[in-house]
Amino acid sequence: MAIFGRRKPQGFTELKETMRPTPDADGVTRVFSRELWDDPKIGKFLREVGFGPDDARNILPTADDYIALFAAARKRLDERTEAFNRDMTMRHGYCRAVPFLVIDHTIWDGEHGAFLYAEMNLIGFDDWNVLMLAGDVRTKETCDLAGHPGTVPAITEVMTKRVIDWKHRHDVALEAYGITATAGQGITQGITREQYEAEHDALRREIVDNVGWMKPRIISELLRVQA
């Protein structure tokens, strides 16, 4: 408990940031370890914001869990790509399309990627984030697809800024959720668990919808540049 001997965290987000989770005695790694529920102040705080030690959202996936999750999503993407190419080949006689990620791998693999997959439960290989683009000139001409440009720094820059903004908004909502249990410290505004979950779900939908909004604009710009 020495970690709480320093300045007391003022809210839920800060409390989470103080954690450096390690497996509990049962081998499960939790956001907030089991022993915290025995602490009279911290345990009370966690219960008041609606947490339990074995809640699914309190159980941290392991690295192996994420590896398996990404591998399964990649396999689904490969299967969708094969199906797309088969269908287009039947229509046009030839097709070699390859996937393009609107939020690209440099973001997923960077410092903000964990927000998308761990907090928003989004995987970049899933259909919401993918465009099928021509992998060669013959496909571009035969199938009337925009050519795959590789990584586009301008798109990466725009999407990085948006991910940072979405992450900030989520942190604000998470903090407001935690404030509900700390109003006695002079903070009077907060949100309920239901309000936080509504905010979370709305933000997730906004991310998916924004990427959907970007797709036709990316295609239009690629076609213009490649004409």
Q: Secondary structure of the chain in the HEC alphabet?
A: CHHHHCCCCCCHHHHHHHCCCCECCCCCEECCCHHHHHCHHHHHHHHHCCCCCCCHHHECCCHHHHHHHHHHHHHHHHHHHHHHHHHHHHHHCCCCEEEEECCCHHHHCCCCHHHHHHHCCCCCCCHHHEEEEECCHHHHHHHCCCECCCCCHHHHHHHHHHHHHHHHHHHHHHHHHHHCCCHHHCCCCCCCHHHHHHHHHHHHHHHHHHHHHHHHHHHHHHHHHHC
Spell out, as residue ranges, where the chain has pLDDT lower than 50. Answer: 1-20, 180-188
Q: What is the pLDDT of residue 186?
A: 45
* pLDDT single digits (tens) 145-172: 999 999 899 999 999 999 999 999 998 8
Q: What is the pLDDT of residue 23?
A: 65
Integer-rounded Cα radius of gyration of the chain: 22
Tokens of 48: 């008041």
Q: Which residues touch 173 (CB under 8 Å, ≥6 apart)?
A: 191, 196, 199, 200, 203
Q: What is the pLDDT of residue 58?
A: 66
Give the C-alpha separation, 176 to 191, whole Å.
6
